[in-house]
Chains A and B, each alone.
Chain A
Amino acid sequence: MIGPTGLLYVLIVLTIGLVGVFFVRPSVTAGAGGKILAFMAMCALPAVCVGGGFFSQMQRSEETKFCISCHAMENYGKSLYVDDPSYIPAKHFQNHRVPADMACYACHADYTIYGPLKDKYQGLKRVYMQYISKPPEHITIPGGYNNHQCLRCHSGARGFEENAIHQSMMDTLKSNQVSCISSGCHDTIHNASEVSHLKMWRPGS
């Protein structure tokens, strides 16, 4: 079954074919039918291809394989396979508490109306730093990790709400005054620099 991206490929190839006709034989535009076809081929269809391409790129940038395709993210991708349940991202990824094919996006997306655009802007800034200016020595999240990323799923969940420690500091957690990943709580995150020394989980083994 052909998916949206497959349809987009077909549309792009069709558009290239039509534009190719006008490129080789511009005189086709002489008749009224030719003019309409030219407008479709050289204005309407390319615009649809751009819209479809933008949608497809936005969708694809939510995939785990896209995030870890960046060299700087390789160890972060590997950390999802650490065979140690104290590693929060690994525990979520391996137990499918987040969709495995969108693991990074599930915990790092800005779930607001313009969130995907803001994320894309942040991503472009990282690309700029990587290739044009200077990449940072340590990768950090601007503004720190927001508790709302965790609470989006955990808030209201029985295990979270009934936990005595969570109950005692619920207001400070929800107002982001105390971070979920602060020291002494859920503080074992990616530890990307140590990943190469750790035992890895192999799916299916």
Chain B
Amino acid sequence: MKLRILGLQKMLRTAGMLIILGLAAEIFSLWWVHPLSFVLFAFVGVSLIGAGILVYLASLLFAASPPSDQKG
């Protein structure tokens, strides 16, 4: 059970990191006035955010037991 919880936490952290990086890329692409900013948004930002959401959704499959007493 502990291994499962640790795995779940790892997945949540991975998802969070991917989403944060994707959103950071999106912010930069909005600020940057250049044709490559759309490429950065569409191919880097969206991919990272999409991967983060998928990892989060995958983590839900392991979420039968919540990591109640685990601290980050």
| Residues of A near any B CB (own CB < 8 A) | 5, 8-9, 12-13, 15-16, 19-20, 22-27, 29-31, 34-35, 38, 42-43, 46-47, 49-50, 53-54, 56-57, 60-61, 65-66, 69-70, 120, 123-124, 126-127, 131
Contact = CB atoms under 8 A, between A and B. Distances in A.
A51 B26 CA distance: 11
Indicate the member of A9, A35, A50 with the most B CB atoms within 10 Å.
A50
B35 A26 contact: no
Indicate the member of A23, A25, A34 with the most B CB atoms within 10 Å.
A23
Contacts of B17: 23
Q: Is the interface of A mostly helix, strand, loop or mixed?
A: helix
B72 A20 contact: no
Q: Is the interface of B mostly helix, strand, loop or mixed?
A: helix
B46 A27 contact: no
B53 A27 contact: no
Contacts of A127: 35-36, 39
B72 A19 contact: no
A20 B15 CA distance: 11
A26 B45 contact: no
A66 B35 contact: yes
Contacts of B22: 46
Interface string B47-72: 00110110011000001001111111
